[in-house]
Amino acid sequence: MVAVMGELWSQVGSIIASFMFVYTIFKDYIPYELRGYLERYSHKVVNLVYPYVQITFHEYTGERFKRSEVYGAIRTYLSACPASSRAKRLKAHDIKDNKSLILSMDDNEEITEEFHGAKLWWTSCKYVTKSQSFSFYPASDEKRYYRLTFHRRYKDLITGSYINHVVQEGKAIAVRNRQLKLYTNNSSDDWHGYKRTKWSHVAFEHPATFQTLAMDPKQKEEIINDLDKFRLGKDYYSKIGKAWKRGYLLYGPPGTGKSTMIAAMANYLEYDIYDLELTAVKDNTDLKKLLIDTSNKSIIVIEDIDCSLDLTGQRNKKKDDEKDEDDEEKKKDAVRKRFEEDNKKSKVTLSGLLNFIDGIWSACGGERLIVFTTNYVDKLDPALIRRGRMDKHIELSYCCFEAFKVLANNYLDIDSHHLFEKIKCLLEETDMTPADVAENLMPKSVIEDVETCLKKLIEALEMAKEEAKKKAEEEEAKLKAEKEEKEEKKSEKSEKQDVKCNGNVSDEVKEENGVKENGVIT
């Protein structure tokens, strides 16, 4: 009965809509005074006859700045609600672990739901606005939204509890179905073409975890506790008046597991990764826009921060050869070229990056980790890595024995072996990265057993030790030679000085003598 009534009402609605359509066409032929009356009363009639309320939920909020979280939650809720199985046109969009297919309503599809006796209709809508500019890829602007229609007598129920229920449920389903994503930023030039998104993504399927990460167990536990504290710290952060974000600086030589640790963090927290390529960002404004377009529960990564940009903001010095150019035309060409090159180059500055990390904009949204990695921590500007921006500094260093044990367990499934003692001694004496240790531990053929792999590692460690020793000796010899050379030069100098002094003295003496002699003679 309710369904029949609902359909009846929606038919009344469409009749009214048709009437409005005809009215707009013939509006100009109706006398002005009559038009005023008609418009005033038609609204009253519509309100009287059509007792339905509509609410729209747009995909983008704030002038397309940010994708609406509510829209996303509604989409997830609707794709999972039983009523959606009756919809005929569905869109497949996410496939979790290549197993379950996630479907959502296609454009202009409608589904009906009931909530505490109230009947409501969800419609997914889209409208296209064509941009005026002529280009090879016409930038048509698709705007999507969901429209919820219900009887006005249920307004309190729907706005009070139903929408809240939909959003909460949608978010919970999203967490359950969550497929982690790895994003990378598109070049700023592509934001306005047919590829309008700032970030592109793929499914994140890195298998690294904290169990497989080889490092000092104490340090590892400390990091895990820190992450836990952060994840559960929403109330704490709001209490202390700080944006809910945390900065990590991972530093250490190449191959010590910095990138691996980021993957382990993402898998542990179930956060998406936004791998930010700074050189593709045009300027500070675009950097801000990228930040705003990231979702909550995410890790924003800038790898090799020391090489990403010249963050001192100094311009390149003029090339010397250009100074000598006499030809006017050539000079102009060079200037134009340099201007174009400069334009292409990223103009992100240190202050832009600092603002990105902890400026006012960084508080939009929450639950974000910002991770920087570098091989040379000393090269970084102190302002960039001060606490508050980079709250936790983590040094990933050469492989210690504890880290080796984790790798041995990962690669060879062993906890102990009689060769472990020897390896322990060698690791204490030699610097070898976990990447190199792992490479030596990995069996390269089916006939290689545990013992062979461990022996291979011992051999590599001994070789590394030998090399390090040779290098140290060479370095020492070089230093010694330099020192000797310096001393030699010094002694030569002082000798020369002595000679000069003696020479002078003898001359003086000679002169004196000469004078005397002369005096005597004369």
**How many chain residues touch ligand ATP (CB under 6 A)?**
14
* Structural contact between residues 362 and 246, judged by C-beta atoms closer than 8 angstroms: no
Q: Judged by CB under 6 A, which of 214, 290, 357, 408 binds ligand ATP? A: 214
Please give the full DSSP string across 245-282, using - where no structure is assigned.
Answer: EEEEEEE-STTSSHHHHHHHHHHHHT-EEEE--GGG--
Q: Judged by CB under 6 A, which of 158, 163, 180, 213 binds ligand ATP? A: 213
Compose the 222-261 pattern: x for residues touching Mg ion by CB under 5 A, - for all others. ------------------------------------xx--
Compose the 408-447 pattern: x for residues touching ligand ATP by CB under 6 A, - for all others. --------------------------xx--x---------
- 35, containing H or E segment: helix 32-49
Helix and strand counts by DSSP (H, E) for the chain: 18, 15
Number of other CB atoms surrounding residue 426 within 10 Å: 19
CA distance 399 to 487: 41
Write phi, then psi, for 95 (nearest 5 degrees): -125, 115
Q: Residue 214 touches which of ligand ATP, Mg ion, none (CB < 5 to 8 A by kind)?
A: ligand ATP
Q: Is 308 in the site for Mg ion (CB under 5 A)?
A: no
Integer CA distances (angstroms), 360 to 288, 347, 395, in order: 10, 20, 29
Residues 27-86 that bind ligand ATP (CB under 6 A): none
Stretch of residues binding ligand ATP (CB under 6 A), selected from 173-181, 187-195, 207-215, 444-452? 207-215
CA distance 61 to 41: 34
DSSP alpha helices (H): ranges in 161-315?
163-176, 217-231, 234-240, 258-269, 284-292, 305-308
Q: Is 375 in the site for ligand ATP (CB under 6 A)?
A: yes
Q: Residue 207 touches which of Mg ion, ligand ATP, none (CB < 5 to 8 A by kind)?
A: none
Integer CA distances (angstroms), 79 to 75, 102, 164, 484, 497, in order: 6, 7, 17, 80, 93
Joined tokens for residue 194? 């047919």
* Structural contact between residues 420 and 447, judged by C-beta atoms closer than 8 angstroms: no
Q: Please report how close the Cβ of residue 439 comes to ligand ATP at its closest, in angstroms.
A: 8
Nearer to Mg ion, 76 or 260 (CB): 260
Nearer to ligand ATP, 180 or 213 (CB): 213
Nearer to ligand ATP, 123 or 375 (CB): 375
Nearer to ligand ATP, 259 or 308 (CB): 259
Q: Please report how close the Cβ of residue 434 comes to ligand ATP at its closest, in angstroms.
A: 3
Residues 245-274 that bind ligand ATP (CB under 6 A): 254-260
Closest-approach residue to Mg ion (CB): 259
* Structural contact between residues 434 and 256, judged by C-beta atoms closer than 8 angstroms: yes
Site of interaction with Mg ion (CB under 5 A): 258-259
Query: Would you tell me which residues interact with ligand ATP (CB under 6 A)?
Result: 213-215, 254-260, 375, 434-435, 438
